[in-house]
Amino acid sequence: MKRIIILNTPEMPVAGTHLFHAKKLCEGFAWNGLDVVEINNISDLDGITLNDEDFVYISNHVINGTDDPMFSKSSPLVESLLYYLAQKKCIPIFWFWHPFINNEQMNILKGRYILTGEDFRLKPKSPPHIKAWEIQNKIRNYVPSTFSAAIHPDKIGTFNRSETSMSNFIGCSYKQEWLHSLLNRQGEKHHVKITPPFITEEERINTFLDSVTSLGFHSQANIDNSVVVERVFEGLAYGNVVISDNPCCKVMTDGIIEYVDSYESLIDLIHRAWYDKDYRRKKQIEGMNWCRNHGTYKPVALKFIEKAGEINAW
């Protein structure tokens, strides 16, 4: 059976909330027929027989320099891990190993690896991410780890929706002034929850299903770097009319997602989706169809599987 193995050990951790993304990505591999295994002790790798159709996911969040001694050129841990992976003939997936791709240590893999990272849909603006963009565009081993909806495509369009609320937003305090103004609007219901503290996953999903529109707000860094976050894809998958402050969203969906750059335009679109049921239904159907084909982790994982096939043929 083909597998994807998450290497998440004290020596090689999948840091912080990125572990959530890694597991969602691996769920996409499962939907393409692979088994998912998480390794929490690096010595446990010795007990696994790997082949050229297996993947090992390895994280690193240092993208601007090599100050971390674990990832320095002289690191015995990295050297031994790369040697191990080369002997096993599997396909490592390196999350943001951009600074180390040209290190001599990497030569032992003979090009049998996939470099990945956030999906910059346009050239990013921040210097570290510009550097990453330039590196990944020079190699043929790169596959973007696109944020998506962790929902099987077959489930899209099957959810029971109540639509008693105008909008929902769950997440960090992006567009605080807009969100507070929404909550203060008389006679209107908006689901707004700034996290932390976090709510349960069931509560979070129910806010999508209870709302007509979903607000796909982003950090300024993600807007500058043209990175689209998961809540955008989730909104489409759960059947919402999605409104975003990231212009990249409208471009990538050929206008299905609505872009706003002011509070006034936000209110206009929320009201249009609430009162104009023909417009609402059109946007919902278009959004679900687009997400079913492009916006879940199943097609994202498939790109890695296809790249592995290319690598094995080189």
Label residue 105 exposed, middle or buried (CB < 10 Å: 0-12, 13-18, 19+). Answer: middle
Q: Please list the alpha-helical segments (H only) found in 32-175.
A: 76-88, 127-136
Distance CA 237, CA 29 (A): 18
User: For every one of its 314 residues, what pLDDT tens digit does the chain have, with 9 covering 90 and above?
Assistant: 899 999 999 888 898 888 999 999 999 999 999 999 999 998 888 888 898 899 999 998 554 444 555 555 557 778 888 998 999 889 999 999 988 888 888 999 999 999 999 999 999 999 889 999 999 999 999 999 999 999 999 999 999 999 999 999 999 999 999 999 999 999 999 999 999 999 999 999 999 999 999 999 999 999 999 999 999 999 999 999 999 999 999 999 999 999 999 999 999 999 999 999 999 999 999 999 999 999 999 999 999 999 999 999 98
Q: Yes or no: say if 173 and 179 are a contact pair by the CB < 8 Å rule.
A: yes
Query: Which residue, 110, 95, 85, 99, is CA-closest to 23?
Result: 95
Asked if 287 contacts 242 with a C-beta cutoff of 8 angstroms, the reply is: yes
Q: Which residue, 113, 70, 69, is CA-closest to 95?
A: 113
Contact between 256 and 283 (Cβ < 8 Å): yes
Name the nearest CA neighbour of 83 among 105, 55, 111: 105
Across 110-232, where does the E strand assignment appear? 114-116, 165-171, 190-194, 211-216
This prediction's pTM: 0.93
pLDDT value at residue 42: 83
CA atoms within 13 A on the CB side of 246: 28
Q: Return the pLDDT at 48.
A: 86
pLDDT at 227: 97
Alpha-carbon torsion, ordered 123, 16, 23, 204, to 10 deg: -90
Which tokens in the block code for residue 236? 């489409």
Give residue 64's pLDDT: 43
Delineate the domains of the chain, giving CATH numbers in brackets.
3-148+297-313 (3.40.50), 153-294 (3.40.50.2000)
| Three-class secondary structure of residue 98 per DSSP | helix
Count of helix runs (H) and strand runs (E) in the chain: 11, 10
